[in-house]
């Protein structure tokens, strides 16, 4: 599996400094850039930045931060994870990522999605009652833009385009585009319909339970006559020198973040027992390099994915611990996973 790719994902969670104080949003953004530079130096394949519009996250415009990363790196691919297309404009999304592609000499990629939060809809003047239609129409337009030719298009929630040409063009004529899916069969089939690569967000439960989605994607592509690309997965995790250290650094901040989300969605507070269960056999890849590598290899092998992105921050984990996690992922986890899969 020499073509297997490994990435790192973050929403730019605002971390604590060494004194235990939250840093500013500006400092948090600069910290993400430093982490991406380190990942590039260590040979990590992709850095993916998610979009949020909440106080605990610093990245609201992934492509802006990716543009900054582009000027300080040489090889790592620069992705969103995800771009909330429903509350954005497809033309502007294409233009912004084509610009990142230019600055990075062809390393940009966009992962389109609905997003797991909805705060961007009222913020940008969209009606949540149009949630499904917004994504369906906008991805249809975006796929047409990928041809990089004049576009004629009409829908119900955006002004039509009549032979509109969009600039800048990419040098290669191809902007790498994925669709991020959290577990909707309809979204999987739509991704196959457009012939785009699928990125599965596996953030709860055993990864093996997502195998039917990969099968559905491949069957749908075959029936629709499109291309079934290697599927990617992204899941949360954290790496430290020992299993116990990783869990004890991650858990307090993860609990705060998870309970904040849970309060919005009517979930009960998470218990340590649930957390430990997810670490042992679920979707949390937390521990020493050896532990995380074994669990990643098992998931990759069982699902047959072609890319694994680790969401390496979840809450206010300290800056120094985050940098160490990135270092261990690039220098030890990725080589170990490759060795396990080759054996």
Residue 314: CATH number of its domain = 3.20.20.30
Lowest mean pLDDT among 113-122, 220-229, 293-302: 113-122
List the domain range (segments joined by +) for residue 294: 5-342
Given a cut of 80, whether residue 1 has pLDDT beyond it is no
Q: Supply the mean pLDDT for the chain.
A: 96
More confident position, 27 or 263:
27
Given a cut of 90, whether residue 115 has pLDDT beyond it is no
What is the pLDDT, as a whole number, of residue 2?
A: 59
> Residue 166: CB partners within 8 Å, gap ≥ 6?
91, 94, 95, 145, 148, 151
Express as a percent the part of the chain with pLDDT over 90: 96
Tell me the per-residue pLDDT of 237-267, one tens digit each, with 9 for 90 and over: 999 999 999 999 999 999 999 999 889 889 9
Given a cut of 70, whether residue 337 has pLDDT beyond it is yes
What is the pLDDT, as a whole number, of residue 225?
A: 98
Q: Mean pLDDT across the stretch 326-340? A: 98
DSSP string, 64-129: HHHHHHHTT-SS-EEEES-EEGGGS-HHHHHHHHHHHHHHTTS-EEEEEE--S--THHHHTT--GG
What is the pLDDT, as a whole number, of residue 245?
A: 98
Strand partners, 38: none
Q: Mean pLDDT across the stretch 46-55? A: 96
Given a cut of 80, whether residue 187 has pLDDT beyond it is yes
Q: What are phi and psi of 328, to 5 degrees?
A: -65, -35
Tell me the per-residue pLDDT of 292-317, one tens digit each, with 9 for 90 and over: 999 999 999 999 999 999 999 999 99
pTM for this structure? Answer: 0.96
Given a cut of 60, whether residue 221 has pLDDT beyond it is yes
**Domain count within the chain:** 1
Q: What are phi and psi of 190, to 5 degrees?
A: -60, -40
């Amino acid at each position: 599996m020499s073509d297997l790719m490994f990435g790192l994902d973050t929403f730019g969670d605002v971390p604590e400094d060494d004194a235990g104080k939250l840093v500013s949003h500006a400092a948090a953004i600069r910290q993400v850039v430093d982490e991406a530079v380190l990942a590039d130096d260590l040979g990590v394949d992709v850095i993916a930045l998610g979009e949020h519009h909440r106080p605990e996250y610093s990245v609201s415009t992934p492509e802006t931060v990716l543009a900054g990363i582009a000027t300080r790196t040489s090889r790592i691919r620069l992705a969103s994870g995800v771009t909330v297309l429903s509350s954005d404009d497809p033309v502007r999304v294409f233009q912004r990522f084509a610009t990142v592609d230019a600055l990075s000499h062809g390393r940009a990629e966009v992962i389109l999605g609905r997003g797991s939060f909805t705060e961007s809809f009222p913020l940008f003047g969209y009606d949540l009652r149009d949630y499904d239609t917004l994504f369906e129409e906008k991805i249809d337009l975006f796929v047409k833009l990928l041809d990089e030719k004049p576009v004629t298009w009409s829908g119900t929630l955006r002004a039509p385009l009549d032979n509109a040409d969009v600039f800048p063009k990419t040098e290669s004529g191809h902007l790498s585009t994925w669709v991020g899916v959290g577990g909707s069969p309809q979204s999987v089939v739509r991704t196959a319909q457009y012939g785009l690569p699928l990125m599965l967000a596996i953030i709860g439960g055993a990864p093996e339970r997502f195998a039917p989605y990969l099968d559905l994607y491949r069957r749908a592509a075959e029936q629709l006559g499109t291309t079934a690309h290697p599927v990617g997965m992204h899941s949360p995790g954290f790496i430290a020198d020992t299993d116990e250290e990783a869990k004890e650094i991650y858990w307090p901040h993860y609990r705060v973040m998870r309970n904040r989300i849970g309060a919005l969605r009517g979930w009960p507070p998470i218990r340590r027992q649930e957390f430990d269960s997810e670490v042992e056999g679920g979707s949390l890849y937390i521990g020493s390099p050896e532990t995380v590598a074994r669990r990643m290899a098992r998931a990759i092998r069982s699902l047959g994915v072609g890319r694994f992105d680790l969401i390496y921050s979840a809450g206010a984990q300290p800056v120094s611990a985050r940098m160490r996690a990135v270092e261990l992922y690039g220098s030890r986890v990725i080589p170990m996973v490759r060795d396990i899969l080759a054996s």
